[in-house]
Structure 1
Amino acid sequence: MQLVDFSSRALLIAFILYCVSFLGYVVALTGRRWSNRDPEKHLHRWSRLAFIVSVIGFLSQVAYFITRWIGGGHVPTSNMFEFMTFLGMMIMAAFIVIYLIYKQPLLGAFAMPVSIIILAYASVFPTEVQPLIPALKSYWLYIHVTTAATGEAFFAVGFAAGLMYLLRTVNYKAQEGSARKEQWKLELVLLVILMVIGFTVSVFGFKGMNYQAEFTQQPSMAGNGAQPAMQGTVEYTLPPIVKPYNSQLVQMDTFLGMSQPLFEAPFWMKGINAGRKLNTVIWSALSGIVLYLLLRLAVRQPLGAFAGRVLEGIDPEDLDEISYRAIAIGFPIFTLGALIFAMIWAQEAWGRFWGFDPKETWALITWLFYTVYLHLRLSRGWQGKKSSWLSVVGFIVVMFTLVGVNLVIAGLHSYAGV
């Protein structure tokens, strides 16, 4: 267990260094505007320092991965904590590759937060080394997961560059209908990102306060006179705005004077965990909206307009090219990992290549989406805003495939959310 403990410390060091690196990129980005001497020299000095710190953080995370592998006895990609930390590491690797190719220093200001948010989100899940279930005891699993995550990591860099392009080019001064529609769509994307951040902050905050609520649920009588299933119990770590359907409160810590849930989950949300999942979605939305409004109040303008002013001076054509190249690199890797190697593993684990499991279906949807992206880019000449919007939406599909399918939709991959 000493190696596992060391791996945890190495991961914490990597996370801290990523945050320091992000601050360095922010200083490079904002300081260029008020530097009285040489703005470009200021930009490259701070971005170079930030890049060095990010590389050191990446090496620390590699140390985490290797020591957890040795200490745990298997490749650490078998549950949501391990997979999300591996994805964060591969996003950093993809960023380093793209940075070395294009030397675009400010890409880190948007790529680093993606990795930071994913590592923070990973920490929400149990961090203990867990024994493998039989379906996971296959080297094809490791090949499938690692290559799929590597492809998704390049999609994440493409997303970061595409988002930067939109922030750089969407005109917030225009008042035409089409321009207003673009502005609202971009603000919605930023709100969704803040919801993920808000969820993570909320979970850590209430976990730090040791918040807890517990419910019991007795399922309704089954048909044909069959007896109902045994009573189930579910624990909340966020204040229960919504309780499970047909459940009784066992105990609940008071929060802001709220000692009872406000609503009950609808009857059609089956399963005792359905109410908890709906409660998590509501908390994510509320915390994201609060963060968005606070930031709007702080900058006194739409967040996209503020970010666009900060990004002035960056060539949007470079960002468009980086986004496309990152996705073009990631697509064949994702194809191998998420489809071909996944089907080989499925045949070995479950005796069939394809079974329309929710995770398999959404992996196919993701692959089809990026296939359409590349087709429109190469055959129809979709560049600039059209291409960037697709790169942003595509990564939202990726994140739903990774998070939403595992935690919301029941299927053969549900073990990954335990």
Structure 2
Amino acid sequence: MSLLNFSSDIFLAAFFLYCFGFIFYAVAVAGARFSNRDPKAHLQRWGRISFIVSLLGFLCHLAFFITRWIGGGHIPTSNMYEFMTFLAMAIMFAFIVVYAIYRKPLIGMFTLPLVVVIVAYAAVFPQEVQPLIPALDSYWLKIHVTTAAIGEAFFGVGFALGLMYLLRTVNFKETGHKARKAQRAIEMVMLVGVILIGFLVSVFAFRAAGYEATFSQETVRISDSGVESSEIADVTYTTPPIFKPYNSHVTSMDSFLGMKDGLFETPHWMKGVDAARKLNTIVWSIISGLVLYGLIRLVIRKPIAAVIQPLTRAIDPDDLDEISYRAIAIGYPIFTLGALIFAMIWAYEAWSRFWGWDPKEVWALITWLYYTAFLHLRLSRGWHGTKSAWLGVIGFIVVMFTLVGVNLVLVGLHSYAGVD
């Protein structure tokens, strides 16, 4: 247990080092823009400090991974908490590889926030070491999950660089129809980012306040022979229940704005793991994100993208386009091996079939086909620049839906995750 406690402490240290790394990258980029002495020297000095701090965070993260593996008895990638922490570590690894090649501090300024958000998102899920279910008790867990996550990590770096390209090239001073359309599109991406932050704000704010609501839910099942059976279980919320579980009633509820019951019932067709609580959390995320976005806009009085854009002017957009493509090109064969080939071999070993149209399998295939199309359009049709950047941004949204959204709205053999 002491080793697992150390693992948790070192992981917290990694999180804060990532936060400081992002701050130092922001200082490096912003300071170079406004420095009156030697902007290049300032960028190099703070960029070096930022990279060292980020690297220390990665080493702490790696120590967390190893100690949790030893303390838990199996590789820590078997549930959503463990997988998301590994994905964040893999993105840091991909960033270190890309940064070592190109030495552009701006890459860190856009990649580190992605890592911080994913780490914070992981903390929403139960953090206890859980015994492996029979289907996961295989050496293929190490091979399949790690290679798939590393491929997705390079897609994440490609996303960050594609977003940088869009911010660098969109002209917020133009007023034409095409320019306005581009401005609204990139601002929508900013809004999605703020909603993700709103997700973290709502979850941790209510958790810090100790909010809790409990429902008793009855689940009715009908067997193939037509025999009906029911099961009653308690479902505990840590955010006020805008959407309560389907076919449930209140057992206990803390006071919040006079609510005495859930406002709406979760649709019966949402059968993912803890779907009601996840839907409720997402609704709170959107509400919190929209409020936060409104407050930010009220303070800065212009689009968020327009405020960030000046920081990107020091980098060549052609470099961003090329680095984004190369990151995705590195991730594609790794993802192909991990998410498709190794996954099918493991599926045959576990379930005696290579393919079963499980929702996560289908969306892994959709993700692979998407990036296959990306590479085809890039290499054969000449889709460079803005088109390529948008494909990179949208592609990672597909990845995140495959990882998170499928568990919310669908149920299948890969639905192992819970929500704290």
Q: Bin the TM-score by the shorter chain.
A: over 0.9
- Cα gap change, 1:19 to 1:363, in 2 (>3 Å): same
Residue 229 of structure 1, CA deviation: 1.5
Alignment-derived partner of residue 211 in structure 2: 211
Residue 271 of structure 1, CA deviation: 8.2
Residues 171-320 of structure 1: matches in 2 within 5 Å?
Answer: 171-218=171-218, 227=228, 229-266=230-267, 268-269=269-270, 273-320=274-321
- Cα gap change, 1:97 to 1:269, in 2 (>3 Å): closer
Cα distance in 2 between the residues matched to 1:375 and 1:227: 52
- Cα gap change, 1:51 to 1:216, in 2 (>3 Å): same
Q: Which amino acid aligns with 1:233?
A: D
- Cα gap change, 1:146 to 1:271, in 2 (>3 Å): closer
Q: Which amino acid aligns with 1:179?
A: A
What root-mean-square deviation, in Å, do the aligned CA atoms of Structure 1 and Structure 2 show?
1.9
Alignment-derived partner of residue 140 in structure 2: 140
Q: Which amino acid aligns with 1:325?
A: R
Cα distance in 2 between the residues matched to 1:114 and 1:221: 41
In the TM superposition, what whole-angstrom CA distance separates every residue of 1:375-411 from its partner, at most 9, and x where no partner exists? 0000001011000000000000000111111343110
Alignment-derived partner of residue 117 in structure 1: 117
Q: Which amino acid aligns with 2:104?
A: Q
Aligned pair count reads 418
Q: Which amino acid aligns with 1:112?
A: L
Please tell me whether the aligned partners of residues 271 and 411 of structure 2 are also in contact (alpha carbons under 8 angstroms): no
Q: Helix, strand or coil for the counterpart of 1:74? A: coil
Unpaired segments of 5 or more residues in structure 2?
none
Please tell me whether the aligned partners of residues 168 and 312 of structure 1 are also in contact (alpha carbons under 8 angstroms): yes
Residue 273 of structure 1, CA deviation: 4.3
Cα distance in 2 between the residues matched to 1:225 and 1:374: 50
- Cα gap change, 1:226 to 1:144, in 2 (>3 Å): closer
Q: Which amino acid aligns with 1:89?
A: M
In the TM superposition, what whole-angstrom CA distance separates every residue of 1:161-220 from its partner, at most 9, and x where no partner exists? 000000111122222222222211111111112222211221111111111111223457
Cα distance in 2 between the residues matched to 1:61 and 1:282: 31
Alignment-derived partner of residue 17 in structure 1: 17
Residue 416 of structure 1, CA deviation: 3.5
Please tell me whether the aligned partners of residues 84 and 119 of structure 1 are also in contact (alpha carbons under 8 angstroms): yes
Q: Which amino acid aligns with 2:38?
A: D
In the TM superposition, what whole-angstrom CA distance separates every residue of 1:50-98 from its partner, at most 9, and x where no partner exists? 0010011111111111111111111111111111111111110100000
Cα distance in 2 between the residues matched to 1:200 and 1:82: 18
Tell me which moved more, 404-413 or 365-374.
404-413
Q: Which amino acid aligns with 2:142?
A: Y
Pair 1:381-2:379 in alignment? no
Residue 99 of structure 1, CA deviation: 0.3
- Cα gap change, 1:32 to 1:280, in 2 (>3 Å): same
Alignment-derived partner of residue 392 in structure 1: 393
Cα distance in 2 between the residues matched to 1:243 and 1:406: 18
Cα distance in 2 between the residues matched to 1:261 and 1:7: 38
Alignment-derived partner of residue 344 in structure 1: 345
Q: Which amino acid aligns with 1:174?
A: E
Q: Which amino acid aligns with 1:283?
A: W
Q: Which amino acid aligns with 2:393?
A: V
Alignment-derived partner of residue 131 in structure 1: 131
Cα distance in 1 between the residues matched to 2:372 and 2:221: 47
| Identical counterparts, % of pairs | 65
Please tell me whether the aligned partners of residues 407 and 414 of structure 1 are also in contact (alpha carbons under 8 angstroms): no
Cα distance in 2 between the residues matched to 1:316 and 1:145: 34
Tell me which moved more, 397-406 or 173-182.
173-182
Tell me which moved more, 283-292 or 367-376.
283-292
Structure 2 length-normalised TM: 0.95
Please tell me whether the aligned partners of residues 29 and 105 of structure 2 are also in contact (alpha carbons under 8 angstroms): no
